[in-house]
Amino acid sequence: MPRYYFDLRDHQGIALDEEGLELASPRAVRAEAAKSLADMARDAVLSAPPTGGRQTMAIDVRDASGPVMQLTFWFEIETPASRPQSHDH
């Protein structure tokens, strides 16, 4: 079974995956990359300042031969200039 490496990339740089995972199919590789990217996105959104600007992150997948795929995600947190008043009584 081929071994795939999932390198994480964001504004702080790149974190190389030294261990990798053995996966049986391209679908399994895509599913693992999506899971890793979702975890990164959750952590980044929770730690971002309220108006931190656009942030981009990616998962670069490679095998022994080189690059296989890249998944990129970006988000931007915006808060409205004026929020409607709540009329709770």
Judge whether 76 and 55 are in contact, CB under 8 Å: yes
88 part of a folded domain = no
* Full domain range(s) for residue 22: 3-76
d(CA 1, CA 39): 25
Residue 25 is predicted with a pLDDT of: 94
Q: Is residue 89 included in any domain, yes or no? A: no
Query: Does 35 fall in a domain?
Result: yes
CA–CA dist 13, 65 (Å, integer): 23
pLDDT at 82 over 60: no
Paired tokens of 50: 């309220």
pLDDT in tens, 57-79: 999 999 999 999 999 998 888 77
How many structural domains does the chain have? 1
Q: Is residue 29 part of a domain?
A: yes
Confidence of residue 30 (pLDDT cuts 50, 70, 90): very high
Residue 82 lies in a domain: no
Residue 84 placed within a domain = no
Alpha-carbon gap, residue 38 to 60, rounded angstroms: 14
**pLDDT tier at 44 (50, 70, 90 boundaries)?**
confident
